[in-house]
Structure 1
Amino acid sequence: MVRCSCVFFRKYGNFIDNLRLFTRGGSGGMGYPRLGGEGGKGGDVWVVAHNKMTLKQLKDKYPKKRFVAGEGANSRVSALKGSKGKDCEIPVPIGISVTDENGKIIGELHKEKDRILVAEGGLGGKLLTNFLPLKGQKRVIHLDLKLIADIGLVGFPNAGKSSLLSQISHAKPAIADYAFTTLKPELGKIMYNDFKQISVADLPGLIEGAHMNKGMGHKFLKHIERTKQLLFVVDISGFQLSSQTQYRTAFETIILLTKELELYNEEVQTKPALLAVNKMDLPDAQDKFHVLMNQLQNPKDFLHLFGKKMIPERIMEFQHIIPISAITGEGIDELKNCIRKSLDEHANRENDAYHKKQLLNLQISNAISYSEPPSKNALTNSKMDRI
């Protein structure tokens, strides 16, 4: 068994995951008609990723949310080629997707120092423009943050995700006996004895219809797009959002969660997944767990319980199913080990696939070089050898 200790990773206070900004490239500099001098190009506006940045910090530092680059220098006798205007850089957190006003993606920032050009500076005055400068590009952009984590917790409200996160890390999310205690993302980190670190994101709970933006809807779903794997957390006793909604068993909860992921984005549903069956400290939990395991081993035998629109195209297959109690700590060590094992196995498979692809490319490259017809010089040399 792998021993590990757990430490707090990051907590987002007053969490902001989207922001609208005005950007404008700098105007170009004036040309010098008499001597044919060219004005400098206006500065560009860039969005640049930084590890320790948040959208809240960006909003607080730049409350007007306007970013304008510098103007290009005018051409003059002492400097016929005007210098370029100063670029403007917008510092943003890693995981940002940049879109324009029409929702078209301009680019994404996945790692430190990634950068995207969002507003280009205008050209300086030159012969082609009658030595008159051009204005810089104006653009309203939207910054959309999608958290990056190794594991994303998926579950209906009150399934115990927040309690679980507090067990496997020192994060202190809100915990209470009512729905939607998690209103903003929480990130915890498991630290193992060999210094391996695994980040776990607890995100606002899904409800039926989340793919249509009901409940926390897209505010939750978009954040699991960049998690490597999913950890489903379900209450062994089932779930009922309110007295006006239908009660769902643990098995029904898993099927409905799977369907919500599929309806939002099919690629999300294909991520490797684990299942934590929570609240095993409750009475009759063991009996209910045996029933659930039978249902998961033969899911097609129980799909008649659902309407056709509720059945996912692909039934989720879990790499590990672990009964736990986030209250008593039962099964938590095993869960941590399974998380580590699952991520390591997936990383090894990815490495193997990468090396096989590289080897195949090398073989194809060699085959092509061997099949190329000999050059004329080679044929001439061959004839000379025979004389």
Structure 2
Amino acid sequence: MVRCGLPVLRKYGSFIDNLRIYVRGGSGGMGLLRLGGEGGKGGDVWVVAQDGMSLKKIKDKYPSRRFVAGVGANSSIRSLKGGKGNDCEIHAPVGISITNDDGQVIGELNKKGDRVIVAHGGRGGSFVTNFLPSKGQSKIIRMDLKLVADVGLVGFPNAGKSSLLSQLSHAKPKIADYPFTTMRPEIGKLMYSDYKQISVADLPGLVEGAHLNKGMGHKFLKHVERTKQLLFVVDVTGFQLSYKAPFRTAFEAIQLLTKELELYKAELLSKPALLAVNKMDLENAEEKFKELMQQLEKPEAFYHLLPEEVTPLRPVQFHHIVPVSASTKYGIEELKNCIRKSLDDQDDLENEQYRLEKLQSLHSSTFKCT
């Protein structure tokens, strides 16, 4: 746990993050018995990643949510080999996971141009099938949007995530002084002098019990899965969701965020993490920050002071801890540089691991007995 030493550093509205649709491949064409002709294969249904698309656009453009590919052409005297039916392409946003109705993953679209076939067309009739064609596959599929970003902001409502993102990047998320400020996920781009760009996602604020799908629950947590690193954002003065909810200090807020991620999917805590301690412009912020740093030096020593439901199995080891103020821009450049350094370090580590695995693979194949 270190301070970065670099000099410059639910109401979702109309937003839809999952969609259920019907897809069917085209039937094959009839074969021609007397001449041994073969019918054309039915068209396939594909989902293709395209910029500028959203699940809402698909829903609005195709109210029936039915996508059917073309039928294969029949064999004829003029064309003994029938032509293939037209494929059906569903243009979808980047960053979606496609599953069947049983929850089995069919594929993912992680970048523009990625394609996944979701329903195969039927075979054309031939001598193998007594010249009778087969029907195309038909099924219900789900398209589930999961953001793809380098860094995901993790915090409770009113921690200042949206304000922080607007200072870090050119994003303009809707900001207001009430809980659940973030109406929908927002992605900002951090720009550096060497033209490096880093994407940062501001995700809807968590509430206690998010792992049980309370508040925005799983709608928040599933987006965390598709980020390389986590940036925890806490209010240095503490947090209270409502007058009925318990007050949480900054230290308690960090542990509770950790607990929610742990209960949802423990693997999320294996991601590299940074901590931005926000609202350092407030009165007594420096004293509270010093107290927080002392607690984070040996967090387990303070676990006995926490309610059991707040206590994680193990604390998060932050790569960098940066005090900031989104309202005054204090610490913003330092935080930007810490984010860059943390991602660069991760890339270096992954490249080194890949190099070692490649060497090990070559070594094993060289000395393998034949």
RMSD: 1.7
SS of match in other structure, 1:99: strand
Give 1:96's aligned amino acid.
I
SS at match of 1:228: strand
Partner of 2:65: 65
Matched, 1:242 2:257: no
The percentage of aligned residue pairs carrying the same residue is 65
**Distance change (3 Å), C-alpha of 1:187 and 1:253:** same
Report the equivalent of 2:80. Answer: 80
The amino acid that maps onto 1:80 is: L
Are residues 3 and 305 of structure 1, via their aligned partners in 2, closer, same or farther at CA, if it must alter by over 3 Å? closer
Compare 82-91 and 303-312 and name the one that shifted more: 303-312
Determine the structure 1 residue equivalent to 2:141.
141
Q: TM-score by structure 2 length?
A: 0.94
Structure 1 position 348, deviation (Å): 0.6
Paired residue total: 363
Q: What's the counterpart of residue 43 of structure 1?
A: 43
| Structure 2 residue matching 1:150: 3-state secondary structure | strand
Higher relative contact order (Cα pairs below 8 Å, separated by 6+ residues): 2
Instruction: Report the Cα offset of residue 81 of structure 1.
Output: 1.7
**CA distance, structure 2, for counterparts of residue 75 and residue 176 of structure 1:** 65
Contact 2:30 2:131 in 1 (8 A): yes
Shift of 1:16: 2.1
> For the residues of structure 2 that align with 1:82 and 1:314, how far apart are their CA atoms?
63
Q: What corresponds to 1:7 in structure 2?
A: none
For the residues of structure 1 that align with 2:99 and 2:151, how far apart are their CA atoms? 26
Residue in structure 2 matched with residue 260 of structure 1 by the alignment: 260
Which piece of structure 1 moves more, 125-134 or 182-191?
125-134
Q: Cα offset for 1:3?
A: 6.7
Tell me how far apart the structure 2 counterparts of residues 52 and 223 of structure 1 sit (CA, whole Å): 19
Offset at residue 51 of structure 1 (A):
3.2
| Separation (CA, whole Å) in 1 of partners of 2:76 and 2:8 | 70
Corresponding residue for 1:366?
366
Partner of 1:115 in structure 2? 115
- Report the counterpart of residue 289 of structure 1 in structure 2: 289
**Deviations 1:246-289, CA, capped at 9 Å, x for gaps:** 11110000000001001111111110000000011111111111
Equivalent in the alignment of 2:228: 228
Q: Which runs of 5+ in 1 are unaligned?
A: 5-11, 373-387
**1:177-256 matches, cutoff 5 A:** 177-256=177-256
Unaligned segments of structure 2, at least 5 residues:
1-5
- Residue 56 of structure 1 and its aligned partner are, at CA, apart by 2.6
Residues 16-53 of structure 1: CA deviation (Å, up to 9, x unaligned): 21111111110111111112222111111011112332
TM-score, length of structure 1 as denominator length = 0.90
Q: Tell me which residue corresponds to 1:96.
A: 96
| Code of the aligned partner of 2:364 | I
| Aligned-residue offset at 1:2 | 7.4
Q: Identify the residue that residue 349 of structure 1 maps to in structure 2.
A: 349
2-side partners of 1:186 and 1:15: how far apart? 11
Q: Deviations over 1:188-236 (max 9, x none)?
A: 1111111010111101000110011001111111111111100000001
